[in-house]
Amino acid sequence: MAEGKKKQQHIVVFQDEKGKVIKTAFAVHGESVTAPDLPGSKGSQGHYDLVFGGWDQDLSSITANLVVKAFYKKVPKKYLVMYFNEDGSVLGTEFVPYGSPAEEKIQPKKDDSDEFHYRFIGWDTDLSKIEKDTMARPLFGKIRRSYPVRFLDEDGRVLKEARILYGRPAAAPSDPSKESDPVFHYHFSGWDRPFDSITGPVDVRAVYESEYREYPVRIYEEDRLVSEISCHYGDLIEYPDLSRKGYTLTWTPMPDRVEEEVTIRGTYEFSNPAGKEFDLGNIACRIVNPSIEAGTVCLLRYDSEEGRVRIPEQVLIGDYYYRISEIDARAFCGCTAMEILEIPASVAQLHEEALSGCRRLKEINLGRGIRKIGKHAFSENTHLKKIVLESDTIRFVHRSAFERMDAPVVIAMRPNIYQKRFALFEKAMGSGAIIARQI
């Protein structure tokens, strides 16, 4: 081929789908050719759109004269599918080609009611083959709800539990019981709420009626039945008015209120037993002999502001008189002004330090009943000068009865007493501290 020779060209005729020439063009051998622009759509036929599909010949490498014809293809139309909620509100939309199924990506929900659970089961129209614009509404299946029902005793203990369908009645367990306590008997009276139509979770509690318990109360006076009555728990117990002269009545037991069946027995004890102490104002004493007819006491304390003190022979305790037969230690320390002390004939014994500690005491009249004088009976009486002894029945004087005395003391006795009893005092004199003489 000679240099500069032109390349071969080919004629390309473009026709529409009906054969009408649209354009004629020249193409260099082996090269492509540019096709004319055609409408993308040629309308529709039924449920299909006619869409430009291309040319019936390859235009990328032309090697001969060509007649190229355009062609159109059918594309299914797309239809609108609208999804609605039960209340009419729009849940969503989608466009689906004719004859194709909807995607159904939307999964609607419906809130449960007290009576039912709701479950989505599909749509009210067939979405498996869309042929037109479609509106779809959801369909829900419903399942009757059940609720827990518990029957509880008063203390919260579970007697029975079950799940009951909405609106159905629950079956109660057997009637429960409640043990009596000290105050009440209890009777089951029913349940605290109805359960003939269950509409939600519910606890049903047992209800009890209370009835006061009654207890027998028996009261005895020693072995004699005084009263027997039936009382409610908590009632006050009325004790009969019983007494016996010279005795103290003691109830055993002695509850104030009824708390159980009880037998109460009243027993008498002598009011003034041996060893019992009494405060009688200016006199304090202790029972020595509790005898009603010949009872005696020991004088524990005597208070007086007098200079001359006369001790009474007896004191009244309760219903009876008791003779003062003994004097205890420092019984007269409260008699701060006492200078003369007269002891009655009933006193038989002066205990250890019985008359000691009387700082102003000058003279003591021991009386006719003295039989025994204890250790240090007269000690610490710095002003004591004279003791008058009228008793001829004295049997014992402690050898230390007059110790711790600062000055001599005169003991005055009648001759007959002196002859019989001076020896007792002589042993207790000690270093001339006591001078004895006849009256």
The reply to whether 362 and 231 lie within a common domain is no
pLDDT of amino acid 438: 52
Task: Specify the CATH number for the domain of residue 428.
Answer: 3.80.10.10
Confirm whether 4 is domain-assigned: no
Confirm whether 2 is domain-assigned: no
Q: How far is CA 109 from CA 20, 91, 200, in A?
A: 59, 11, 22
Confirm whether 199 is domain-assigned: yes
The reply to whether 320 and 361 lie within a common domain is yes
CA neighbours closer than 13 Å in the CB half-sphere of residue 117:
7
Give start and end residues of each alpha helix (H) in 11-131: none
Task: Specify the CATH number for the domain of residue 235.
Answer: 2.60.40.4270
The boundaries of the domain holding residue 71 are 9-76
The reply to whether 287 and 429 lie within a common domain is yes
Q: Which helix (H) or strand (E) holds 420?
A: helix 415-429
**Integer Cα distance of 23 and 34 in angstroms:** 10
The reply to whether 296 and 360 lie within a common domain is yes
Evaluate the CA torsion angle 89, 91, 96, 100 in order and state its sign.
negative
The reply to whether 176 and 99 lie within a common domain is no
Phi, psi of 190 (to 5 degrees): 135, -160
Residue length of the chain: 439
Confirm whether 121 is domain-assigned: yes
Q: Torsion angle, CA of 238/244/250/253, rounded to 10 degrees?
A: -50
The reply to whether 345 and 427 lie within a common domain is yes
Evaluate the CA torsion angle 32, 35, 40, 44 in order and state its sign.
negative
Please say which residue of 24, 50, 76 terminates a domain: 76
The reply to whether 324 and 396 lie within a common domain is yes
Task: Specify the CATH number for the domain of residue 99.
Answer: 2.60.40
Single out the residue of 38, 98, 95 nearest to residue 68, CA to CA: 38
In this structure, how many other beta carbons lie within 10 angstroms of the beta carbon of residue 409?
A: 19
Evaluate the CA torsion angle 215, 217, 223, 227 in order and state its sign.
negative
The reply to whether 82 and 199 lie within a common domain is no
Please say which residue of 94, 128, 144 terminates a domain: 144
Confirm whether 40 is domain-assigned: yes
Please say which residue of 175, 197, 212 terminates a domain: 212
The reply to whether 346 and 311 lie within a common domain is yes
Residue type, 189: S
Q: Are the C-beta atoms of residues 373 and 396 closer than 8 Å to each other? A: yes
pLDDT of amino acid 2: 47
Q: Torsion angle, CA of 284/290/295/300, rounded to 10 degrees?
A: -20
**Integer Cα distance of 18 and 244 in angstroms:** 149
The reply to whether 290 and 419 lie within a common domain is yes
Query: Which residues have C-beta within 8 Å of that of residue 224, sequence separation ≥ 6?
Result: none
The reply to whether 157 and 139 lie within a common domain is no
**Integer Cα distance of 45 and 327 in angstroms:** 147
Confirm whether 432 is domain-assigned: yes
Q: Are the C-beta atoms of residues 344 and 311 closer than 8 Å to each other? A: yes
Instruction: Pick out the chain residues at pLDDT < 70.
Output: 1-5, 406, 429-439
Q: How far is CA 369 from CA 6, 225, 324, 344, 348, in A?
A: 185, 48, 11, 8, 5
Q: What is the DSSP letter of 237?
A: P
Confirm whether 1 is domain-assigned: no
Q: What is the DSSP letter of 285?
A: E
The reply to whether 321 and 224 lie within a common domain is no
pLDDT of amino acid 429: 65
**Integer Cα distance of 324 and 286 in angstroms:** 10
Confirm whether 124 is domain-assigned: yes
Q: What is the DSSP letter of 398?
A: -
Query: Which residues have C-beta within 8 Å of that of residue 70, sequence separation ≥ 6?
Result: 14, 15, 16, 17, 22, 38, 52, 54, 55, 56
Residue type, 160: K
- The number of folded domains in the chain is 5
